[in-house]
Structures are given as structure tokens and as C-alpha cells.
Structure 1
């Protein structure tokens, strides 16, 4: 919380305006000077613990909203958006950005929503699903995909389960039986042909398909334990202020899954293992009995104050280049936003099942990122049936990747593959892979010469 106090002035200002108070009136109620409150609201002074207590006591202020209410998801999320090539000539520095967030949080939030709408749907493609997905993603980004109360509760529960049994799956099943009056049944595919899991409250059973691998079975059982933190889950969903029940259910599913992953990979133990192994994903999978995608997602959540992991981002992509998951975490990489570049080896992972594909890439803003991608198949299927395949990619800034197991043998200061955010957003010239000119640039067609690509284009 200490780091986030520095950019919490907008939250205090919002409370004051909602109550219809002047700065002088609120300052009197808080036993501080109006000038000090003015500095707090302008983010020129931190919010002390004493001031937080007074806000809570006198204005029913929930301090947890400081972590969840920063406009546009906070400075890191806004920097990712501003890394788009369309803003390259504006040269907005960190100081300007923080001043914007402090002085005009509503305007910053409006910009973030408009930008996200543009990036998620594309011109003319917006629909109800896109809107819901953007809402849920914005709610997750407000928390930077880190929910401290859930992590703390999951750690305490994981310790209890370890004392009960050395087998996590057995310990969870026993707790479900005793505490929740739920038995766990593994059913053959012919009995449950179109479902992977089902909660049968009449029979008091959690029914799981035999198609699920061991890690997915444990995850599905751990999700049911989220009922023990129902109050925290409800508070997160309610605080997001989503527009409809579909969005609320999607966010609840995400938060419940977050808790399940935190039970499987308790924060402190998982972070120690990451640091001891150089974030070796295969070793982490084996040590915690988790799947590749589960570990990759967990890496984006390691943002506990005083015990932070490396700032990874994560994407999940299908063979058509459609992104079904985007988690930025604390990363400021522009690669988590917008379109995909065919020169990025995330697609090569789809053709090399089971292999971790590592690549050093450079985005148009000059940022360098070490990325790792691997193909995943969520579950087996009936013989002859369609089985999904995706590529899960994670990345971290090259300057922070020196200690990674995946970086061994890679010159992080050497040549990196130049990539963009999709052809229509990329302004790199003479790219032989280009499939379209950048949006807003005039296409140049010549009868007398041809360059590396037929999609030559002019300047601004």
C-alpha cells in the first residue's frame, strides 16, 4: 500500500466531492490543514497511516479502494497505452503522466476506456461481448491482477491443507467433504460427454470429467474452496461496478480461479521457488503440480508490497491470432496491448508442441523484452473430436531477465527481433512480412520501382 499512497489523491478527492465538502471542511474534519489536504489531493504528499485511519473513521473510507480505483488502472497501465506508435511524437514523460492522473483522473479514465475500446474491437466491430470483456479486464487491471486479501487467505488455507495431508488433491477433497459436505466424483466421458465439471447440489457432488488432467482436477476442486472467502470475492465484484450480471459472473469466475491458483501456488512459497530456480517454469510446474498456463498466469500476480516478483505479462493466442487472455500485471510492455506481429515467435510455439520457444524482441518504442511461449491443450477430447490448441506467451523486460533460467545462453544486449503491434499499428518500413499499411498512412504505389513490400506508405 505504501507505494500506492503516492497516487491516491484522486480517491480522496472523489470522496470529498461525493460528500459535497470543500477542502476546508474536510480538512477540519480530518484535523489537518487545508493546504496539506490540497497537496494530498494533488499527489504531492503521501497519505499517512494516521490520515487513512481518520478517513476510515470519519468518512467510512475503505482503504482497499486505493488499490482498485486508480484511473486507467494506474500509471503503469497508462504507460502501456501511451507506448502505442500513434503517440510516439508526443514524448510524454513520467512526470507529465503522473500530473495528468492527479489533476484530471476522470479525463484519464475516459481516455483509457476509449483507447481500450479501439484496441479490443477495432473499427466497426464493437458488440456486447467486447464491451463485457473490456469491463472485466479493466476491473482486473485496476487491481493489477493482484488481490492481496485473497492471497493471504489462500496461504493460510494452503498451510492447513499441508498439515492435513502431503497430497494436496486428497487434502482438498477431504476438506470439501467435511467442511462443505461435497464429495468428488471422477466420471467417464460417456456419462458426462459435454461437460468438464459440474456441481450437483442435489447429490452434494462435485463431478469432474476424466478428460481433466491432474492439475486441472485439483484446480477445479480448489475453486470450490473459494466459498470460504465469499465475503472478499463479493467485495471485489461489487466494488468493480460492472454494468450487468454477465460481466459480474466473468469477474467472479476470474477471482475464484485466482484464489484456486493461490491455494495451489501459495504466494511466499511460490515466489521463493521462482527466485531459487530462476523462474524455471518446468520446475515450477512439477514442484506445485500445476499446468504451464496456470504457472504463467500466476507469474503475473506477484506484486505483494515488500515481496514482489518480476513484472511478467501474459497472452493466450489461438492459431488464427485471436487473443483470449491478456494479463499485464505490473508490466509496462506494449506487447500486451493491441495486435500481434507475425515475427513474434508466439506463433512458432503452436508448431512445436511441448517446446518452450524463447525470443528476444524489440518493440517500436525501443523496449526490449525476453518472451517465452509454449503450446497448450486445455484438456483431452474424445477420439476423433476437435481438441483446442493455444499458445501461451509470457514476457519480461530484458533488463530484468538476466537471472532467468530461460535466458541462459542468450545475449540480452544483443540483436533483438524488431516487432510491432500488428501491421495496421506498426510504422516500421521495409518489413517483408507486412500485410497492410499502417492505419492513417497514405499508401504509395509506383509503376517504376518496388520495395521490400507492396505496402509502401507515406509519412504522417
Structure 2
């Protein structure tokens, strides 16, 4: 069967304008005629595979951005939103929707975002956590300069050798005249790491695991040796609140520490060689599951990209305390709460086990996308077993076929578990797990029948 033609005129036009090029200059770099480029930009000709390859070679360009409509479910996703009764009097047909997608995909995406967030509690623009996430998403959680610096330092320290903790300790002693001391819990009841300049010590709590000790030492090195580079990035962010800048700086410290423990090129090679086998990667780099999950969302180096993972951390109430989308298109993690049908919740009852699940976003009976998700419990910062979260990562199912954790999992679209973005924002009908009515829907009541959910609405 012939492949579907790809029309991407607005994306090509924005790329050209971003580079400050004329159509003639762009056409020369793409090795096509200016008239052909003009037809592509006006969506009168599809873009060929050869032109896509030239775009990748000539520009800092991610070809996944050509299919901008996929993030909103294409014409079917747009049609589902316009089917809302609030737009019934406008008579918008599929031809108009298709024209909107073709000529102004970002405007269509903006409408979809507003529609999808209509039932969500408003987030104040001055909320530091909201501002932090917005800044990280602007960078797509990839900070190339920090990755390069951490990779050079890892090579200098020869961190590929077996005992990473010993190499980090040696660096602190030889370069900074700081020794590492492990202190009892009763001496450090409320701290994980402390810098004692008087005693020239990095003091660590005995309650930290080996992976957490390594990470804390890497954080100390980040602050001691790369403070200026990290602070420069943080100062460049447009924050109205210094609290947000402090959170962003802390994120960048952690980013550098993870990049030092998992140097980009070597880590990506290991991912690809093992099929992103998580237990193998945990052992090989001596990191925790949460540290590994963070790192998987950052692999977006130009010419050396990894798979576009997302990562979230969920508490027992289903609240997201961390969300890193990176280059992923997973919309269901852009909520404040999660769906109880997602295995992230089952993971709490099976501590330490990987819970693998193929899910799709079901909105009013129409499925959008599909993701292979992997969830596992992680310990919080309190007493062992006292605080517990689940960290979940996921990647689009179309990219997940060769993953080690996908073995034995059917990735056929019909086999995906449909989930929603939390009950208030979910318009999925006949869901026995529904806890709250969906916002914006009128409830219906049948005096002669009682359904499987106490909240039935038009479409059930």
C-alpha cells in the first residue's frame, strides 16, 4: 500500500523564516527548484523522503515536527473537539477542519490545547512550579552545553571504570581537598548531604543508597566546578519569581549530575545496544530507576537522538509531582492527576517490579496515539518504606517494538488499554472506574435503569 502523502508547508515555511532565508536560498540548500519549494510551502505538493533527508542534513531539524497534526489526533481528533455542542450552530464541516490543519496547524493545536484544558483548574502564571515546567519544556529538557561539559569531565575522570563512587570521591579529594564522610542517621536526621567547609568534608547520610550517594557526589561536583555555566543558563530564563529560578537552577544541577553519571554518547550506545533494557542500564551505570528515567527524557542531541521518552512521578493520590515530556507527544501526562486504569497505580502494590502496559488516550470514545509505558516504585526521602512514589516512563508504541521490555507485549492498536487524563477532563463513556463527572457535560438520569457508573452523560 502506498504511504500517505505528507503535506508540511507551514512547518517548512516557519523553518525557512527562522533561518532568515529566501525561498531561492532554501531551495538551493535542499537541491530543489524555487517553484517546487513554493508549491510545498502552499501545501500544493507533498514533501518527499529525499527532501526530508536534505532538511535533516542542512538544518538543526527534527523530522517528527513535520507531522504537527499528530499531537492533536489529526482530522479525527479535531473533528471530535468540534463535535462539542457549544460549536453546533457554526456548522463547521470536515473540509474546513482539514483546511485549518493544512494551512494553520499551530492555530489548530492552540485550539485543541484550550479545549482540552477547559475543565482543568486554572494555574496561576506566577506559580513557580508552572513557570519551571514551562521553561524546561521550552528547552525540551535538553541542555547541550551541560551534556558536552559533563561528557568531557566523565572522560577526564574515566568514569567508565567499575567503581564510580570511588572516582567521584577521588575527584573531590584531589581537586577540592574535600573528603567524603558517611554519618549516622541521628547526626543527619533531616539532611541527605551537607558541605562542611570547616572540616573540609562532604557529609552524606547513611540512609542513602549507593546510587543516591553517587548522585549526591555528582551534584557537589556540579556546584563546585560548573556553577558559572549552570547559573548562566538559569539567569537567561524569563522568570518573574526568583523561587522559579531557584527551582530551575536545582534542575540544572541535577541534569549535570545525571549527565556525568550517564555520559551522553556512551549512555545512548548502551541504550541502543541493549534495546533500552532498564535493569541492564541500572546496573551498568550504577544509578537509580528515577535517575535513569530522568536521563531517558533528555536524549535529543542533534544527529544523535534517542527515543522520545516522557517521565512522570506519581504519588498514591494520583498526583504528578514531576513531569518531563521532552520530545514526547504524550498528552495524557499534561494533567495534574492520572487515570486509575493506568498500571502506574498497580505498581504501588508490587514494589520494585516493572509494570509494563500498552495504553492509548481515549477521549469520548476516540483513541489518540498509543504508548508503551513502564512503571516502578521508588523510595522518597524519608525513612525506607515511609514515603513511596511511582516513576513511569513511556514511548510511542510505533517506536517501541524493539525495546527489551516490549517483548511479549502486543502493540496492536486494538490491544491498547484506553485511559483518560483524569476523571474531570475525561469524557470516556461507560467507565466503571469513573470517580467524578466530566466538566462541561450534562449528566443524564434514567429512572428505570442504573448504570455501571453513577455519572452518566450524553454519549453513554
> What TM-score, normalized to structure 2?
0.76
The superposition leaves residues 13-61 of structure 1 with CA deviations (integer Å, 9 ceiling, x where unpaired) of 9xxxxxxxxx9xxxxxxxxxxx9xxx9xx99999x9xx99xxxxxxxxx
Distance 1:431 1:313 in 2: 26
The residue number in structure 1 matching 2:425 is 425
Whether the aligned pair in 1 keeps the contact of 2:72 and 2:78 (CA below 8 Å) is no
Alignment of 1:280-299 (within 5 A): 280-299=277-296
- Tell me by how many angstroms 1:116 deviates: 10
Distance 1:263 1:43 in 2: 46
The superposition leaves residues 334-364 of structure 1 with CA deviations (integer Å, 9 ceiling, x where unpaired) of 1221131111111000000111011111112
The residue number in structure 1 matching 2:447 is 447
The residue number in structure 1 matching 2:403 is 404
- Tell me by how many angstroms 1:180 deviates: 2.5
- Tell me by how many angstroms 1:418 deviates: 1.0
Change (3 A) 1:375 1:455: same
Change (3 A) 1:445 1:85: farther
Distance 1:5 1:218 in 2: 45
Distance 1:97 1:265 in 2: 41
Distance 1:200 1:454 in 2: 59
Whether the aligned pair in 1 keeps the contact of 2:78 and 2:112 (CA below 8 Å) is no
Q: Secondary structure at the match of 1:247?
A: helix
Distance 1:313 1:431 in 2: 26
Change (3 A) 1:111 1:198: farther
2:300 is equivalent to residue 303 of structure 1: yes
- Tell me by how many angstroms 1:314 deviates: 0.8
Change (3 A) 1:214 1:81: farther
2:253 is equivalent to residue 256 of structure 1: yes
Whether the aligned pair in 1 keeps the contact of 2:328 and 2:395 (CA below 8 Å) is yes
Whether the aligned pair in 2 keeps the contact of 1:356 and 1:374 (CA below 8 Å) is yes
Distance 1:145 1:85 in 2: 27
From 364, 367, 371, give the equivalent of 1:369: 371
Whether the aligned pair in 2 keeps the contact of 1:340 and 1:421 (CA below 8 Å) is yes
Q: Secondary structure at the match of 2:456?
A: coil
- Tell me by how many angstroms 1:219 deviates: 0.5
Distance 1:173 1:6 in 2: 52
Calculate the aligned-residue CA RMSD, in Å: 3.9
The residue number in structure 2 matching 1:147 is 143
Whether the aligned pair in 2 keeps the contact of 1:76 and 1:331 (CA below 8 Å) is no
Distance 1:405 1:205 in 2: 42
From 200, 207, 216, give the equivalent of 1:211: 207
Change (3 A) 1:397 1:225: same
Distance 1:165 1:403 in 2: 28
Whether the aligned pair in 1 keeps the contact of 2:358 and 2:416 (CA below 8 Å) is yes
The superposition leaves residues 238-287 of structure 1 with CA deviations (integer Å, 9 ceiling, x where unpaired) of 22111122111100110110110011111111111111111111110000
Distance 1:297 1:415 in 2: 28
Distance 2:112 2:234 in 1: 23
Whether the aligned pair in 2 keeps the contact of 1:350 and 1:391 (CA below 8 Å) is yes
Whether the aligned pair in 1 keeps the contact of 2:424 and 2:438 (CA below 8 Å) is yes
The residue number in structure 1 matching 2:393 is 394
> What TM-score, normalized to structure 1?
0.76
Change (3 A) 1:154 1:292: same
Q: Secondary structure at the match of 1:449?
A: coil
Whether the aligned pair in 2 keeps the contact of 1:293 and 1:376 (CA below 8 Å) is yes
Change (3 A) 1:11 1:177: farther
The residue number in structure 2 matching 1:60 is none
Change (3 A) 1:445 1:115: closer
2:226 is equivalent to residue 229 of structure 1: yes
Whether the aligned pair in 2 keeps the contact of 1:296 and 1:314 (CA below 8 Å) is yes
Change (3 A) 1:295 1:5: farther
- Tell me by how many angstroms 1:96 deviates: 4.0
Distance 1:244 1:283 in 2: 41
From 370, 377, 380, give the equivalent of 1:378: 380
- Tell me by how many angstroms 1:86 deviates: 9.0
Whether the aligned pair in 1 keeps the contact of 2:311 and 2:394 (CA below 8 Å) is yes
The superposition leaves residues 146-194 of structure 1 with CA deviations (integer Å, 9 ceiling, x where unpaired) of 1111111111111111179642211111211222332221111111111
The residue number in structure 1 matching 2:154 is 158
- Tell me by how many angstroms 1:7 deviates: 4.5
Distance 2:411 2:157 in 1: 41
Q: Secondary structure at the match of 1:346?
A: helix
Whether the aligned pair in 1 keeps the contact of 2:141 and 2:324 (CA below 8 Å) is yes
The superposition leaves residues 376-419 of structure 1 with CA deviations (integer Å, 9 ceiling, x where unpaired) of 1135627xxx7110111111111111101111111111511111
Structure 1 unmatched ranges of 5 or more: 14-22, 24-34, 53-62, 68-73
